[in-house]
Amino acid sequence: MLSRSLEADILFGLSFQPAVALTGLRQVGKTTLAKKLLSEAGKPAHYFDLEDSRDLQKFQFDPAGFLETMQEKTIILDEVQRLPEIFPALRATIDRHRVPGRFFLLGSASFELLKGTSESLAGRISYFELSPLLLKELNTTDMKLHWLRGGIPNSFLAASEQIQQKWMQDYIRTYLERDLPQLGLAANPILIRRLLTMIAGIQGNLLNQSMLANALGIRKNTISGHLDFLENALFIRRLPPYFTNVGKRLTRSPKIYIRDSGILNHLLGIHSLESQLGHITAGGSFEGYVIEQILPCLSPGQTAYFYRTADGAELDLVIETAGKIALAIEIKLSNRPALSKGCTQALADLGNPPLLVVTPETDDVTLNRNTRVCSVENLPERLLEYLKH
């Protein structure tokens, strides 16, 4: 069984908080991880899947009373956003018998889960987000396959390309036609698929909501609502621009990405490395892939942005810590990267922070006192060196 990077953090949360919430896309391994951690910790647990009508029925009449009957066990509530009315009962149960690790809440939609817990469980819960499998979590150095298939376990671990493609086809269809509507997205699944495919086509570019609205024939505020929903459902990411530098005309629009590269490639009809590398989105696709390897490695208080000015100064990622840029990152789909004038100017604008240039496979190379090149495989180690403080 694969180990996940969040394991130690989640166990720490369980050691002092009565409840822990773990969110993430469907099928990223939340249930498997929760059961594994409790088993290895020797904590007796009771599991309920709230999408199963038989389990859901057990909480319909007296949820607080039912929860009290399992006081000595950790209760795993899977897809807890299906039963938002349970949160007051969780609060009452915790306040009557407050011990660490009583509840392990799993949810596929962060906004639904956070809405319920923020209103009822403030001060009683720790939050974590489980990303699709990271390259560093896999027993392989095959970055190219990981980039192609993405990090959802059933996609990456599929026995053949044919199985992987069929699995991903069914996964996306089920998400669009069943899961998102059940979570409250009141939109035609065909329209949402068109929207996601358009986002895939501009992977890593600035978001232009008016362009998307015009192309789909709907209002801009409708697009805005759909994007909010898809982001909160952990399907897309909007990377904000860095604003602090005064005296510069800075880009104000976020950059937009499909978060999982396997989903991205399926939406674009890409099923081989050759077609992936030859596609017009290759650079943006690799950029998004690397960003998704970086962001789960950040500690609380470390925030990621991109930097771009009207004069052409640009950096793919800047990491802010304690009000200053601790690290700048350029992502290059080339094993022989060259720094552009815009990159050099951006570094000067930001006070010349350390620069890490991430490539597919280049061995670690120091370009100058402030600039280092590394591969995706070695990226976690380099991040730890630069951001450990």
Going residue by residue through the chain, which has 389 residues, state the pLDDT in tens, using 9 for 90 and above: 788 999 999 999 999 999 999 999 999 999 999 999 999 888 899 999 999 999 999 988 888 889 888 888 999 999 988 888 889 899 999 999 999 999 999 998 776 656 777 778 889 999 999 999 999 999 888 999 999 999 999 999 999 999 999 999 999 999 999 988 888 888 999 999 999 999 999 999 999 999 999 999 999 999 999 999 999 999 999 999 998 755 566 668 999 999 999 999 999 999 999 999 999 999 999 999 999 999 999 998 999 999 998 888 899 999 999 889 999 999 999 988 888 899 999 999 999 999 999 999 988 888 888 999 999 999 999 999 999 85
- Would you list the DSSP string of 281-327? THHHHHHHHHHHHHGGGPPTTEEEEEEEBTTS-EEEEEEEETTEEEE
Q: Are residues 122 and 147 both part of a single domain?
A: no
Q: Are residues 381 and 317 both part of a single domain?
A: yes
Q: Are residues 87 and 224 both part of a single domain?
A: no
Q: Is the dihedral of CA 192, 196, 201, 203 positive or negative?
A: positive
Q: Is the dihedral of CA 218, 222, 228, 233 positive or negative?
A: negative
Residues 6 or more apart in contact with residue 218 via CB below 8 angstroms = 191
User: What's the confidence (pLDDT) of residue 114?
Assistant: 64
Confirm if 146 and 138 have CB atoms less than 8 A apart. Answer: yes
Residue with tokens 């290059």: 332
Supply φ then ψ for residue 333, to 5 degrees. -85, 55
d(CA 58, CA 85): 13
Q: Are residues 156 and 74 both part of a single domain?
A: no
**In terms of DSSP H, where are the helices of 202-281?**
209-216, 220-232, 261-267, 273-278
In total, how many domains does the chain have? 2
Provide the CB-side half-sphere exposure for 355 (13 A, CA): 29
Supply φ then ψ for residue 20, to 5 degrees. -130, 135
d(CA 304, CA 290): 13
pTM attached to this predicted model = 0.94
Confirm if 227 and 111 have CB atoms less than 8 A apart. Answer: no
> How far is residue 71 CA from its own chain's centroid?
33
Q: Are residues 141 and 125 both part of a single domain?
A: no
- In terms of residue numbers, what domain contains 47? 7-129
Q: Which of 78, 74, 89, 77 is nearest to 17 (CA)?
A: 74
Q: Which of 108, 183, 17, 68 is nearest to 59 (CA)?
A: 68
d(CA 100, CA 13): 8
> How far is residue 126 CA from its own chain's centroid?
17
Q: Are residues 353 and 206 both part of a single domain?
A: yes
CA dihedral 109, 53, 117, 230 (to 10 degrees): 10
1 found inside a domain:
no
Q: Which of 107, 129, 151 is the last residue of a domain?
A: 129
Instruction: For residue 236, list its beta bridge partners.
Output: 258
Rg of the chain over all Cα atoms, to the nearest angstrom: 22
Assign 119 to helix, strand or coil: helix
For helices 7-16 and 30-40, the axis angle rounded to 10 degrees is 60
Provide the CATH number for the domain around residue 357.
1.10.10.10
d(CA 69, CA 204): 50
Which residue type does 148 have?
A: L
Q: Are residues 297 and 354 both part of a single domain?
A: yes
Confirm if 258 and 264 have CB atoms less than 8 A apart. Answer: yes
Q: Are residues 108 and 22 both part of a single domain?
A: yes
d(CA 379, CA 296): 12
Q: Are residues 155 and 173 both part of a single domain?
A: yes
CB-CB neighbours of 287 under 10 Å: 26
Q: Which of 129, 164, 179 is the last residue of a domain?
A: 129
122 found inside a domain:
yes
d(CA 287, CA 98): 45
22 found inside a domain:
yes
